[in-house]
Structure 1
């Protein structure tokens, strides 16, 4: 089993578990990833999803290059591979609940794309991130390139793409590629899981709309904003605030 999903109290964890290949993704894994993400999103108890390695010291070395080389002359396989990668990244980037990527060790190429599709990236001090298609004669997917540009801007994105350099955790933090450096994502999990899922998922949809080019409210976004005032989470959150207690969102 190279990908596995576990669920605890309000948190689902998607583990990458292919240590002998430094967690490199093959075709089967690209096909499995979106199904596991959708499974986590469908679980009403889950308030957030983490993506992390089952083994310390490496997040994901990227695509399985040996598999790509073995199938380079098979047009049908290449098309299926591209479709699987595109679907995996699209589903992950648009998952309805918050997603945290916990990056320990190398996070390269397609592995970096997975981290880019998460909402928040937490890196350990030994993390290294890079996008290396230029070293392989390949081209990075447009969808993933947009995720990169959205995070670090076009100048830093070009630096990463053109050079294929691996950035250490502190450089990745400096340019906005990761959001913090920490030994674990636990504190963020606790804070997010304690908050209203109605709020976090709604705001996540709004952020995605902004990233996809929307700048002004429309009838749907105005309705989402207005309806929140009539929901049970608003009543619980405001009641807890007035009573100076922690809210307990159901």
Structure 2
């Protein structure tokens, strides 16, 4: 499907009646894995402004839930992870600079909350992953893609701009050249190309991706949650302070502080005792 036909299809679908935010974002938690599903398959899982607001609240709740070790973000069905923001509401809720500032602020807050979530996050991408949907996936730690995935940032076709923070995320993730390629050409790229530029790390056949993600998360839930949280914190610090010259005392001590934790003692004891460790995040 061409980019033009894609946008025509999306706009037509998004004009239909949309679900309430509660119905449009489904959250489940089983065996330490929380799954957040964007549930608007008829609209290719386009995200409304209210859904962006709810996303920030949901991620904040997940961050405080000690039973959650890994978070998976997905789209309902096999046709789309997310087609991006719901264009059908732009003329009402994004019609001038002041409304756009409010709208963009809610999107940015949701993406920032997702990126700062202390648990590992995985975007399981099937089908279209475009615009705001692509930004959502980019703010997860890992992106695992089905072979039918299509990625794109065709915002130039709407005469809109990606915000500074979101632009920074893409440059950090895939580099300046690949970021400009996506934005200036407004083209869609297949999963294989997305993997080659670092936009996704693994690609599986559509029929197999659910099993592969389930296997991966079942392994990850048994890893040390404290080390996972602090590792993510260190990466964020590195991105903010790449020269490492202005680290706070707490930031500088973090790699060594792990050795004064119960989970470190448990990890060593389990290895020497040839048993599986039981980590408690302490």
Q: TM-score range by the shorter chain?
A: over 0.9
How far does the alpha carbon of each residue in 1:21-59 deviate from its partner, in whole angstroms, 9 at most, with x for none? Answer: 111111111110010111111111111111001222210
Residue 98 in structure 1 maps to residue 85 in structure 2:
no
| Equivalent-residue separation in structure 2 for 1:225 and 1:76 (angstroms) | 43
Q: Does 1:200 align with 2:228?
A: yes
Output aligned runs, 1:102-121, within 5 Å. Answer: 102-121=124-143
The aligned residue for residue 24 of structure 1 is 46
* Secondary structure at 1:28 match in 2: helix
What is the deviation of 1:162? 0.3
Matched, 1:61 2:91: no
**Is it true that 1:238 corresponds to 2:237 in the alignment?**
no
**Aligned-residue CA RMSD in angstroms?**
1.4
Shift of 1:218: 4.0
Go from structure 1 to structure 2 and tell me whether the alpha carbon gap of 1:187 and 1:212 turns closer, same or farther (over 3 Å shift).
farther
Shift of 1:76: 4.7
Please say if residues 44 and 79 of structure 2, whose CA atoms lie closer than 8 Å, have aligned partners that are also in contact: no
Aligned to 2:216: 188
CA distance in 1, matches of 2:43, 2:37: 14
- 1:187 and 1:214 mapped to 2: Cα distance? 34
Moved over 6 A (4+): none
Q: 9, 23, 29: which is aligned to 1:7?
A: 29
Shift of 1:135: 1.2
Deviations 1:139-160 (CA, angstroms, capped at 9, x unpaired): 1111111111111110111001
Deviation by residue 1:92-133 (Cα, 9 ceiling, x = unmatched):
111111111110110000000000100000001111110011
Residue 171 (structure 1) aligns with: 193
Contact 2:38 2:75 in 1 (8 A): yes
Structure 1 gaps, min length 5 = none
CA distance in 2 between counterparts of 1:210 and 1:152 reads 16
TM-score of the pair, normalised by structure 1: 0.95
**Does the aligned pair in 1 maintain the 2:126–2:145 contact within 8 Å?**
yes
Q: How many equivalent pairs are there?
A: 250
In the alignment, structure 2 segments of 5+ residues that lack a partner are 1-22
